[in-house]
Structure 1
């Protein structure tokens, strides 16, 4: 019985992730999520309390996926930015959900996310103290610059992308790496 409950939760989170990426929290519909998860609306409310609770579960999973999938090596910050850019390219729903979270749930902090930002900015400060990273930017500024640089292609509007004409994922990754290198040198 427990396995079925876990499988149902996993399906609801996966369906919620797709729905929230497309429509945000406010535009998402529990009917569509339940159908996509081969479940019912009652299960959403049972496991997550409400639609916002499901969004939070999706957000928590996404934050964990980023933290685990792209560890920060303070000695290779351009590699970190490029790796994060790769993750966003591999999972295009991520930048969309990040944007929706910022717009609709910006005041809801994820504890793991906050802890990781502290750890990662401290690692950058350590690399700066060792002379490996420029002190031009404070760690609390440099880290978000790298994070947002990694989302450059996902956040750019179509007109910019048409003019820049870097459709190749490898070229985009390398551009992120090169720009990040200028920030840390």
Structure 2
């Protein structure tokens, strides 16, 4: 009789994170069910607790992974914040679950050290560019970063009422509006 060979731990962990992404995007942390996540991942509840300590740990791990993945895919470019915003907008279009997960995190989450570290590095880069005169000092570095990133997410995070008013704006024009708004913000 063949012996059972368990899947590698990183494969199980990855499947759980993928299943959690869909579940948390739909229901948030409070409404998500560990049983559904485990079933969708072809695993069981015990694995969720083993790898993540529970549902909250799984949500936190997913959010940290999401933020670090986006930071790697769309690195901050202080020499071209408008282009950065356009690329970030593109990432949200390609991965529409990210803004929704971000909304759930804002509603239900707490600051996570790993995410704060990513944000702190970006703020430091903007502050350095401001000190060098490459970016205006109109806004504090953290505020400028927040404005740029929120402009990039404008179309993805618009309320249904706002979206209805601008639905005729074509996709390429949406991206260009983000780029133009950030360029105006930084005086480029």
Normalising by the residue count of structure 1, what TM-score does the alignment of the two structures yield? 0.92
Instruction: Find out whether 1:77 has 2:81 as its counterpart.
Output: yes
Q: Alpha-carbon deviations, 1:6-37, whole Å to 9, x = none?
A: 21111000000110011000000111111111
- C-alpha change, 1:137 and 1:166, in structure 2 (3 Å) is farther
- Contact 2:78-2:125 at 8 Å conserved across structures: yes
Q: How far off its partner does 1:130 sit? A: 3.0
Q: In structure 2, what is the equivalent of residue 129 of structure 1? A: 131
Unpaired runs of 5+ residues, structure 2, are: none
Separation (CA, whole Å) in 2 of partners of 1:119 and 1:9: 28
- Contact 1:15-1:33 at 8 Å conserved across structures: yes
**1:141-160 counterparts in 2 under 5 A?**
141-160=143-162
Q: In structure 2, what is the equivalent of residue 110 of structure 1? A: 113
Match of 1:23 among 11, 22, 27: 27
Q: Alpha-carbon deviations, 1:107-139, whole Å to 9, x = none?
A: 23232x222222222222222233322221121
Separation (CA, whole Å) in 1 of partners of 2:167 and 2:29: 32
Q: How far off its partner does 1:95 sit? A: 0.6
Q: How far off its partner does 1:184 sit? A: 0.5
Separation (CA, whole Å) in 2 of partners of 1:177 and 1:118: 23
Equivalent residue pairs, number: 183
Normalising by the residue count of structure 2, what TM-score does the alignment of the two structures yield? 0.90
Separation (CA, whole Å) in 2 of partners of 1:164 and 1:8: 42
Find runs of 4+ consecutive structure 1 residues off by over 3 angstroms.
none
- Contact 2:86-2:175 at 8 Å conserved across structures: yes
Q: In structure 2, what is the equivalent of residue 184 of structure 1? A: 186
Q: Report the aligned-residue RMSD.
A: 1.6
Q: In structure 2, what is the equivalent of residue 171 of structure 1? A: 173
Look up the SS of the partner of 2:8 in the other structure.
helix
Separation (CA, whole Å) in 1 of partners of 2:82 and 2:184: 9
Q: How far off its partner does 1:3 sit? A: 5.1
Q: In structure 2, what is the equivalent of residue 42 of structure 1? A: 46
